[in-house]
Amino acid sequence: MKMGQQTKEKLPRELRPLFRFAPFVAAVPFLAFSATNYFAAVQAQQIDDAGKVGALATISAISAFAAMLAMPLAGVLTDRTRTRFGARRPWILVGAVIGSVAMITAGLAPSIAALTIAVVFVQFGFNAMGAPFTAILPDRVPVRFRGRYSTLVGLGTLLAGVLGGIIGSFFVKNIPLGYTSIAGAVLLLTIWFVVAVKDRDNRGEHRQPFNVLAFLKAFWVSPIKHPDFFWGFLGRFLLFGGFSLLNTYSLYILQDYIGVPVEESLQLAPLLGLATLPTILISTAISGPLSDRIGRRKPLVLAGGLVIALAALVPILMPSVPGMIVSAVFVGLGFGTFIAVDQALISSVLPDKERFGTDLGVLNIASTLPGVIGPAVAGVIVLVFGGYLAIYVAVVVIALLGALAVMPIKSVR
């Protein structure tokens, strides 16, 4: 069957609930991260205005460890879980519960230390949720439908990343209520998915025993034995890293680089995310099915990275609110193109079909860790170079390297 015919093939009945609900549960971690990042930036400024950059960098650096730990740990556990509900759904729910409780706690944090601890558990919980959810793709989705599935998941992810900050801005006068409302919403979405999307009873399947060595090994996949996995990881890490750097300090950039008053910046920062929405929707909706039709993933990843790099140049040449908006529009175009095909590309470079959850847990570090360490890295860049201009220069370099990183992959065209 030709690639052009595959995209027209009717989706099997047993996959329809998964495809219908996947965008919503894919949105859950990123809605939580986006809202938490916005609230944490505001809280850091309220608690310690003079030290806000260092405070946010500290919060992110410490919670980065939790994010890095959660994905492989959840991956190892979900690969070894045997229940009547399957291997993935129990851990998806557990991660969402941990993350949601931590969000509510973050809203009550009276100090940077308390806020840091709460954000650590937000990152741990929702990253732990991400590993089993991502493993569903190679578990259950045939290769010929992966571009379509990746597009739906990508749309959910990107929309959540944009809407989290926008929704958060409505609660800027009552941050505890904002945390609680969003935590309740994401938990309900997760329960909805777990109930609606059934999985097979896997209690009769062979289970490898868990041990510390197996867990530690989960952090390492040899780049020599599995070079495609390495290049896929590196490309994802760099492109998500570039995207994260552009979005992390938007509130402070508007205030200290563009010169927007504080009150106005609190409302404008989330709206920059809204400016990415049209191009995200268009590029994501087109790129996934297009990659299925032409049978090629790498050219679209390369194009997405190049557009992100170009977008980062705009605020350098035009340091103004219109410049920030233009940059956001092109970031949406580039990142939407990339993320629509990234899941499909990544699912094709996994080394071992017996440990999809584990390998995807490692790979998901490449998508979640940049969002966690982004504030820390950006903070260091600002403190070392004395301004926010250096962030944009760094993004240009990172995005270009990320786009080029997927070119050596041989198992994917």
> Mind listing the pLDDT tens digit for each residue in 251-262?
888 988 898 988
Integer angstrom CA distances of residue 198 from 16, 20, 75, 87, 139: 11, 13, 20, 11, 13
Residue 315 has a pLDDT of 92
Does a structural domain hold residue 282? yes
Integer angstrom CA distances of residue 23 from 26, 87, 176, 389, 399: 5, 20, 27, 35, 26
Does a structural domain hold residue 268? yes
**Distance from chain centroid for Cα 183:** 17
Tell me the C-alpha distance between 275 and 308, whole Å. 15
Residue 352 has a pLDDT of 62
- In percent, the amount of the chain with pLDDT more than 90 equals 24
Does a structural domain hold residue 107? yes
Does a structural domain hold residue 80? yes
Name the residue with tokens 């049978």: 295
Does a structural domain hold residue 346? yes
Q: How many CB atoms neighbour CB 353 within 10 A?
A: 9
Name the residue with tokens 């409780």: 101
Tell me the C-alpha distance between 31 and 29, whole Å. 6
Tell me the C-alpha distance between 307 and 328, whole Å. 11
Residue 3 has a pLDDT of 42
The pLDDT of 300-324, averaged and rounded, is 91
Residue pair 304/345 in contact (Cβ under 8 Å)? The answer is no
CATH number, position 363: 1.20.1250.20
pLDDT, tens only, 130-157: 878 877 877 777 777 877 787 788 778 8
Joined together, the tokens standing for residue 351 give 């080394």
Tell me the C-alpha distance between 332 and 215, whole Å. 36
- At a CB cut-off of 8 Å and minimum separation 6, what does 328 contact? 272, 273, 275, 276, 311
The pLDDT of 159-168, averaged and rounded, is 84
Tell me the C-alpha distance between 394 and 287, whole Å. 26
- HSE-up (13 A, CA, CB side) for residue 410: 2
pLDDT, tens only, 11-70: 777 778 888 888 888 889 989 988 998 899 899 999 988 888 788 888 877 887 787 788
Does a structural domain hold residue 173? yes
Does a structural domain hold residue 206? no
The amino acid at 72? P
Confidence of residue 332 (pLDDT cuts 50, 70, 90): confident
Tell me the C-alpha distance between 145 and 150, whole Å. 9
**Would you list the DSSP string of 186-252?**
HHHHHHHHHHHS-----TTS--PPP-HHHHHHTT---TTT-HHHHHHHHHHHHHHHHHHHHHHTHHH
Tell me the C-alpha distance between 295 and 3, whole Å. 6
User: Which residue range(s) make up the domain with 67?
Assistant: 3-201+212-405
**Distance from chain centroid for Cα 343:** 12
Confidence of residue 197 (pLDDT cuts 50, 70, 90): confident
Q: How many domains does the chain have?
A: 1
DSSP 254: I
The pLDDT of 102-113, averaged and rounded, is 95
pLDDT at 389 over 70: yes
Q: How many CB atoms neighbour CB 328 within 10 A?
A: 26
**Distance from chain centroid for Cα 20:** 20
The pLDDT of 180-188, averaged and rounded, is 95
Name the residue with tokens 């990415």: 276
Does a structural domain hold residue 394? yes
